[in-house]
Chains A and B, each alone.
Chain A
Amino acid sequence: MAVVLEAKNLEKRFKDFVAVNKINFKVKEGEVFGFLGPNGAGKTTTMKIIQCVSPKTSGDLKVFGLDVNEHPREIKQHMGVVPQMDNLDPDFSVIENLVQYSRYFDIPIEEAKKRANDLVNYVQLNDKKESSIDKLSGGMKRRLVLARAMINNPKLLILDEPTTGLDPQARHLIWEKLKDLSSRGITVILTTHYMEEAARLCDRIVIMDNGQILVEGTPKNLIKKYVGDHIIEAENTIEIKTCLEKNNIEYEVANESVEIYSENVPHITNLILKKCTSSSVTARPATLEDVFLKLTGRKLRE
């Protein structure tokens, strides 16, 4: 498969502060590629460099085989963007927002109107076509921004936290649309704080922290590699911890509980119940969230 995007030693500094620290990644055509990472990891900064709206400090970034510094116009012509913050124009109605935006791509007006109507349908905002932007809910705005990103029939979609703040219905609708777009061969790059979203949607993900990429891979492989199949949780007490240490069982402290990554659930569970505690011990399948917390720690970010 063709490579749509390739970053080599991509770096971004704001004065002395390094926001993106020499990262390397490749996105292939038709892939859904996710960026995960705590607040301030550098996801939005990376997205903005890809969108050709923020210049890189050093390194190489090619989109569609074109250098972002030299061919921003050509790249942007075939890219759709959903920014982290909605930036719809409140002076215009829903449909006008789409038509106006299409003007910037030099789409002829008749064609623009047709696409705008199709897209309003696509994101199920038909009832709100003539509404002003102020009268839309957060979820509706997000859907409209997605529709707007599609107005130029992009080959590559960049979505920065497309579902943050949405209710489950709206989130599922966006997922459904992204899956549909991906099945039509559109390459999708997204950032998210929802691990479930990343696990469901993304073919491959990277986890970023402090401007660096910590790991890269398919959600499944990352879970397998860094956590294992299952997680056993027990209470976080001194007795349990000393008991686990005595039995050479590795554990991680997760606030109220201790977590044991394990391939052999019955064995460990029985052992803990027999030797360490009579209180509750639970086992559950490992998730991407476990990988994320393991790699980026549990401390809150500023």
Chain B
Amino acid sequence: MVTFIKTWKLNFIPPFLEPVLYLLALGFGLGGFIESVDGVPYANFIAPALVSISVMNASFFECTYTSFVRMYYLKTFDAMISTPISIEEVIAGELFWGATRSTIYATIMLPVLLIFGIIKMPSSLLIIPFAFLGGLLFSCIAMCFTALSPTIDTLNYPSFLFITPMFLFSGTFFPMDVLPLVVQYTALAILPLAHVVIISRELTLGVYSISLLASLIWILAATLIFFVISIKLMKKRLII
């Protein structure tokens, strides 16, 4: 087996900066007008959503724009497949790297949220391994878009049409049960972030339900499916 270690430098614009801004503006600003959501203070309610959004963004944008640049402009993948590494391994490397980024982002955010006192310990520590799984899911979905995108500009469509609605409607800033039932079910069926938020929230609040298990199964299944599809699509695009 080929062991191959990625040593990409991280451009650390502190990844917690944006979530902290949201936390201050929404959690403590807007939260001042909202008593609580289902008995949970608003800041505590959105804290796990902010982690989930970071997990999503860290891997999704890595495996769309960054991977596209490496594939299309820099021909990095072409360089790699002329070594003993196969295309499957190259793409799997990208996917796992995206997941690693998500894990790093989540790990950095935890202490910040802990300082604000809005997450429970030690159950919140499970966010770290979970970020890897969630990150992998978004990496795999992102890589499918990358494989299908004719130009880098067409990657804007999934960003606006998939990521933005997901950012708003996945039980992130308001609970999903205020939505009509049909919308709720649709969201749960197709929005990966909804499941990542459900699990993250149960971990940071330290209360568990059967939803956690259901969402975990959903995420595992979706990750497996998109992992296989993304590698297939990339192979089809690059091996010609």
Instruction: List chain A positions with a Cβ less than 8 A from chain B.
Output: 14, 51-55, 72-74, 76-77, 79, 81, 83, 85, 87-91, 100-101, 103-106, 152
Q: How far is the CA of A37 from the CA of B45 in the complex (A)?
A: 67
Which stretch in B17-25, B56-64, B83-91, B185-193 binds the other chain? B83-91
Q: Are A76 and B79 in contact (CB-based, < 8 A)?
A: no
Q: How far is the CA of A55 from the CA of B81 in the complex (A)?
A: 13
Q: Are B7 and A100 in contact (CB-based, < 8 A)?
A: yes
Q: Are A89 and B74 in contact (CB-based, < 8 A)?
A: yes
Knowing A53-B81, A54-B240 are in contact, say whether A73-B86 is a contact too (CB < 8 A): yes
Q: Are B75 and A85 in contact (CB-based, < 8 A)?
A: yes
Q: Is B164 an interface residue (CB 8 A)?
A: no
Q: Are B8 and A104 in contact (CB-based, < 8 A)?
A: no
Q: For A77, what are the chain B residues with a Cβ–Cβ distance below 8 Å?
A: 84
- The chain B residue sitting closest to A89, CB to CB, is B76
- The chain A residue sitting closest to B9, CB to CB, is A91
A-B contact pairs, 11 of them (CB 8 A): A51-B82, A53-B82, A54-B239, A55-B239, A83-B78, A83-B79, A87-B74, A87-B79, A101-B79, A103-B4, A104-B80
Q: Nearest Cβ in chain A — how far from B95, in angstroms? A: 17
**Closest 9 pairs between A and B when the two form their complex, measured CB to CB:** A87-B75, A104-B83, A87-B79, A81-B82, A73-B84, A76-B84, A77-B84, A104-B85, A53-B81
Q: For A103, what are the chain B residues with a Cβ–Cβ distance below 8 Å?
A: 4-5
Q: How far is the CA of A103 from the CA of B89 in the complex (A)?
A: 13
Q: What would 7 more interface pairs be, CB under 8 Å, given A104-B2, A104-B80?
A: A74-B84, A83-B75, A87-B75, A91-B9, A101-B83, A106-B3, A106-B84
Q: Are B82 and A83 in contact (CB-based, < 8 A)?
A: yes
Q: Nearest Cβ in chain B — how far from A24, in angstroms? A: 23
Knowing A54-B240, A73-B84, A104-B84 are in contact, say whether A91-B8 is a contact too (CB < 8 A): yes
Q: Nearest Cβ in chain A — how far from B92, in angstroms? A: 14
Instruction: List chain B positions with a Cβ less than 8 A from chain A.
Output: 2-5, 7-9, 74-76, 78-86, 239-240
Q: Nearest Cβ in chain B — how far from A131, in angstroms? A: 16
Q: For A104, what are the chain B residues with a Cβ–Cβ distance below 8 Å?
A: 2, 4, 80, 83-85
Q: For B240, what are the chain A residues with a Cβ–Cβ distance below 8 Å?
A: 14, 54
Q: Are B83 and A90 in contact (CB-based, < 8 A)?
A: no
- The chain A residue sitting closest to B3, CB to CB, is A106
Q: For B82, what are the chain A residues with a Cβ–Cβ distance below 8 Å?
A: 51-53, 76, 79, 81, 83
Q: Are A87 and B84 in contact (CB-based, < 8 A)?
A: no
Q: For A79, what are the chain B residues with a Cβ–Cβ distance below 8 Å?
A: 82
Q: For A83, what are the chain B residues with a Cβ–Cβ distance below 8 Å?
A: 75, 78-79, 82
Q: Are B78 and A53 in contact (CB-based, < 8 A)?
A: yes
Q: How far is the CA of A88 from the CA of B80 in the complex (A)?
A: 10
Q: How far is the CA of A152 from the CA of B82 in the complex (A)?
A: 12
Q: For B7, what are the chain A residues with a Cβ–Cβ distance below 8 Å?
A: 100
Q: How far is the CA of A91 from the CA of B9 in the complex (A)?
A: 8
Q: For B84, what are the chain A residues with a Cβ–Cβ distance below 8 Å?
A: 73-74, 76-77, 104-106
- The chain A residue sitting closest to B87, CB to CB, is A53
Q: How far is the CA of A90 from the CA of B73 in the complex (A)?
A: 11
Q: For A54, what are the chain B residues with a Cβ–Cβ distance below 8 Å?
A: 239-240
Q: How far is the CA of A16 from the CA of B240 in the complex (A)?
A: 13
Q: Nearest Cβ in chain B — how far from A146, in angstroms? A: 14
Q: Nearest Cβ in chain A — how far from B6, in angstroms? A: 9
- The chain B residue sitting closest to A152, CB to CB, is B83
Q: Nearest Cβ in chain A — how far from B76, in angstroms? A: 6
Q: For A152, what are the chain B residues with a Cβ–Cβ distance below 8 Å?
A: 83
- The chain B residue sitting closest to A12, CB to CB, is B240
Contact of A105 among B5, B8, B83, B239 (CB under 8 A): B83
Q: How far is the CA of A52 from the CA of B8 in the complex (A)?
A: 26
Q: For B85, what are the chain A residues with a Cβ–Cβ distance below 8 Å?
A: 104
Q: How far is the CA of A73 from the CA of B239 in the complex (A)?
A: 15
- The chain B residue sitting closest to A82, CB to CB, is B82
Q: For A81, what are the chain B residues with a Cβ–Cβ distance below 8 Å?
A: 82
